Amino acid sequence: MIKKFIDKLLGKPGAAKSGKTVLGKRIEVGPAEHGIDPELLDERAVRVVKTLTEGGFEAYIVGGAVRDLLLGRRPKDFDVATNATPEQVKGLFRRAFIIGRRFRIVHVVYGRGREHEVIEVSTFRALLANESAEQVAGNEKTSKDELAGKSHVVDASGRVLRDNVWGPQIEDAARRDFTVNAMYYEPVKQMVVDYHGGLADAKKRVLRMIGDPETRYREDPVRIVRAVRFAAKLGFELEPKTRAPVKACAQLLANVPISRLFDEMIKLLQTGHSLASLEELRKQGLARGVFPILDAVLDEQGNLHAGARGQFVRRAFEDTDRRVAEGRSVAPSFMLACMLWHEVQSRWQRLREAGESPIPALQQAIDLVFDARIGDISGRGKLAADMREIWMMQPRFERRSGNGPYSLVDQPRYRAGFDFLLLRAEVGEVEMGLVDWWEDFALGSDEERRALIDEAREADKARRGSKVHQLPRGALSGQPPAAEAEEGAEPQAEGASAPAKKRRRRRKPASKAAPAQD
């Protein structure tokens, strides 16, 4: 007891507590110890910090950006934390917008169009209302003026619904989730401010929750998903006390708005470590029952399905991870279309067997899968539209006559549909000759395109003569047969009917169509 009293007087980390929230001691670490390379900084984030500092406020680069800088990585995003209120921040910048209701923050915007950059600026936040700010060590106390007219809103399960109470930096640090995300970097002085031993944990590659883990998960259940994502992305291990309540608290995710949980799943799979994320979910007992979309691609043990179905999704994840590693953009619509394709296919086949025409059957199958796996998210505009377009292109690739090929390669999402077709060919779902034909057609001159169509027509006639009594492609494998056979339209050539003299070309990034995930 005497030791605890002395520790409190000396301000040792972990000695001062407010409820179950640990209030650390401010430790300033210079460049000789932290080793952050200034070349990894974003000049616009530095400019935001300087502007706020010149305006008389404290300001720091914060959170995951500091963590990544300490690990020698160039952060994807730079966030700034300050003691200025959102209104004060907005007043210092020409293009700044206050957003959010649950957490009010400011977006400072530089540039325009696709080249614009957003620096997110948040105000230091105080402890929850049921915790006393008077217990904060030192002179950093939340004033009554700062608390006036503001309140926290917490539901019965402990989840924070609204949190716009400003406070000192020491409380803001205690409110953050993991120690490695609770550090602040002042780029002018090149100084790291660390309250909870985040620097030491980063060096040990440990993910440790600040305060009582179960309480913190109840405040925001999404922290469970964040723990999995950071562990997979960084190659960190969850500290035992941080890991212990994860599975028991997973049921709290049912209270999280579906749109927010969906966004977290996208982040989980698009960090560049999607397969590692799946393994971490399985390791923590969260592989199934959390994300309906993942339930469609994982078996009861939390592994990708065996056979071509699982191999198709695995290749899609590997492609996404590779693009992230190369610094290229990735589109969630492409990845999600790959994840749900075999469920769309299965429903499509059943509808056709029931007598529905191919194209209406595919449209109905897509709607059913959206309802079953995505729910309200299916109405989120471009994401659902892009997924639908990728799927609807697939039967069109089987039709290589008339003006159809010309109109298809001119589609804005043609490249996404083509890359989807390529994945299907790589797992044996369609023949690679079909992919070769479309690659040659997309890159060919007008004369070459006409020759390809003529050759495809002749090959199709030969195929009709020799295979008229055979079952439609896919009848034995469960794959939907070609659309033309049931519609009574002119049968189209399969991949095997590609011209004998193929002009194999290297796929060029600068093709006539946009890259799949850009």
In sign, the C-alpha dihedral spanning 317, 319, 324, 330 is negative
- Alpha-carbon distance 285 to 248, whole Å? 10
Distance of CA 454 to the CA centre of its chain: 44
In sign, the C-alpha dihedral spanning 449, 451, 452, 458 is positive
CA angle 172, 178, 184 (to 5 degrees): 50
List Cα–Cα distances, 302 to 17, 233, 277, 442, 506, in angstroms: 39, 19, 12, 39, 37
Q: Which two tokens stand for residue 78?
A: 């730079």
Active-site residue, 155 included: no
Active-site residue, 177 included: yes
Active-site residue, 79 included: yes
Q: Catalytic: which of 42, 68, 79, 163?
A: 79
**Selection from 75, 73, 50, 45 nearest residue 61 by Cα:** 45
Q: Which two tokens stand for residue 305?
A: 């399905």
Q: In this structure, are residues 277 and 239 in contact, taking their beta carbons and an 8 Å threshold?
A: no
Residue at 446: amino acid letter: D
- Alpha-carbon distance 200 to 206, whole Å? 9
Q: Catalytic: which of 42, 172, 177, 321?
A: 177
Q: CB burial class (10 A; 0-12, 13-18, 19+) of residue 463?
A: middle
Q: Catalytic: which of 77, 212, 263, 367?
A: 77
Catalytically annotated residues? 77, 79, 177
